[in-house]
Amino acid sequence: FPPGERTGVKEALEDLSKTLRGYIVGNLLVAAILSVASWIFFWIIGLDYPFLLGVTSGVMNLVPYLGTVMAWVPPLIVGMKTFGNNWAAYLGIAAMITFFHMIAINVLIPKLVGKQVHLNALAVTISLLFWGWFWGGMGLLLAIPITAATKVVCDHVEEWQPVGRWLST
């Protein structure tokens, strides 16, 4: 980089590092909260391996679009031994995991992750749709970090600042 632009590049890279670190830490915190809540729930209802199921379910809950359904699978399979043909128990497990997911997606992620990446909801939705279409499952996982990185770059390039403002919260 030319000597006159090195300071700007350094600031952009520091902002990018801060944004991506905040995204990762925020998601890890949300996954930990979901894991603990699921663990306690599975322990209360008497499922075998509640800690392992809680961690698995909590982490799977973070997968965009399919995470909730993916989070149902391990406890429902383990629950076959415990609950047999009790369909009410299966519906209760699915309902509670869905409830945890709704709390995470509507409260925890905007508070813990949204503040770190500074992206508006429309930009996030469009990025999930585009990157999910373009790269499939991996695109869904990487959509928000890619869009956040794009926003940081736009914020530091004068000609692209209107795009950065549009992506902002």
**For the whole model, what pTM was predicted?**
0.79
SS3 (DSSP) at 168: coil
Integer Cα distance of 113 and 23 in angstroms: 6
* Residue pLDDT tens, the chain, 169 long: 678 788 888 898 999 899 889 888 988 999 999 999 999 999 999 999 999 999 999 999 888 778 889 999 999 999 998 888 889 999 999 999 999 999 988 888 878 887 788 888 788 888 888 998 999 878 888 888 999 999 999 998 889 999 999 988 7
Q: What is the pLDDT of residue 146?
A: 92
Contacts of 96 (CB under 8 A, 6+ apart): 41
* 8 Å CB contact between 169 and 114: yes
- Amino acid sitting at position 102: M
Q: What is the pLDDT of residue 168?
A: 86
Kindly list the distances between the CA atom of residue 140 and the CA atoms of 42, 162, 168, in Å, as whole numbers in the listed order.
28, 25, 20
In degrees, rounded to 5, the angle at the alpha carbon of residue 148 between the alpha carbons of residues 144 and 150 is 120
